[in-house]
Amino acid sequence: MMDELPHASPAPSFVRHVNIVLATYAVEGALAFAQGALVAQALGPSGRGVYAIFVLSAGFAQLVLGLGMGSAAIYFINRRELAVRDVVSAAQVSVLWSIAVTGVLVAVVAPLAGSGAIGGGVPVWLFLFAVPALVESAVLRLILQGMSRFAEMGMATVLHPLVMLALVAAAMAAGSPTPGQVIVFWTIGHVCAAAFALSRIGLRQIDLAQIARPRLGTIRRLARFGLQGESGNALQLLNYRLDQYIVRGFVGLAGVGIYAVGVSMSEGVFLLANAVAIVLVPRLTSADAENAGAITPVACRNTMLMAAAGAAVLAAAAAWVIPPVFGSGFRDSVQALWWLLPGTVALTGSKILTSYIFSRGRPLVNTMITVASLAVTLVALFVLVPAFGVDGAAAASSLAYATHFAVALYAYRRLSGQPVLGAIVPRVSDVRLYTDALRGVLSRLAGRTPLPEASPTPRARG
């Protein structure tokens, strides 16, 4: 049983990468918070609900039409089984595929539904631009992650909310933006992020010959692995966001807007978990079973501990922050946030455990975990939303998140052989993590490089 973080020689770079990604998400979170406040003030609860439904639908389309190229890229690049050039070129084929399929779907749906499919006068044809932009942005950022180029990935991540914030602010200064205009700004942000990411990966990594005449063997290999994991991600997105569709049906677009603000606030708890998971995936994928099994429980329990502390602060501050910043029409978002937070903390643990499961080449296990959680989501939503509205949706989601963590914990135990308590219960020895981190920060502030740890190799202790 492992009771302290393995001090491997790569540990300083791991912590540094986590810090880079954490800083990225902190900046992105601050920008997204400001952007969300402006969008809420500009559009009100109903318009915010229209925007939320469009973004959710585009995100789901991206997961399906992207063919899992991004997640497969992380695996194959770190396994050194495919060259970056081959992966990038295959990814561009998936973007062209997304344009073609989205075009067909829009051509079929637009004459039948018009702007009624989304609401708020938003035309369906906007998906023709939004979905490919999101596919390109998402896959290129994941390729940067697979290359362990976290600073550049972070800049691409931050660029989207930065561009959108600037455009929304300019539109508000000029008048009252519509939901359709805000959606266009959202799409432009993804185009800018994709362009930056591609420039950092390098245009030389695009093989036009492979795009004109795709290497079907490479695409099949990437898609076969990627779709196993992406099917789980698509189900997970449903698990996270199906509640918004149900709220629209039972409560209305204003209810979606109120609920979406509570959800966006709760996602602040994910900052550390996302940072750790992003850095952890390539590290675990390239590690042997012993090292991966030793690192994961330490990362999981400490991520959950810090998430719980953040959730407590957020719960206390919510009533003082949401109505003044987002507007009095979003006052009911406070209670929805309170219901969401317990499950959100549990889900931070899931992010770490599913990263471990993915790194062992078992993406279908993650898919099955999500299926179990989605079953709970469906039952809970249809029971609680008609009776309790927005608060019922939040409680149902929290229950589903907790289920996801419980099943992920079981799968982790079966794959790793590690005891489940090691991934949950903090230990006194974990204090060293925080003292080492503080020592590193103080050393950098003083202009000195912190001394490396003495122990040269990681090990698990029984």
Averaged over successive runs of 10 residues, the pLDDT of the chain (462 residues) comes to 38 62 75 87 91 90 82 80 86 90 86 68 90 93 84 88 93 90 96 94 87 86 77 71 87 91 86 70 75 84 89 94 90 95 93 87 85 91 94 94 94 90 84 66 54 36 32
Residue 272, pLDDT score:
66
Q: Which two tokens stand for residue 379?
A: 């039952």
Residues in the chain: 462
Residue 287, pLDDT score:
73
* CA 353 vs CA 12, 86, 240, 350, 424: distances in Å: 22, 30, 17, 5, 11
Burial class (CB in 10 A: 0-12, 13-18, 19+), 248: buried
Enumerate the domain spans of the chain: 11-440
Residue 8, pLDDT score:
38
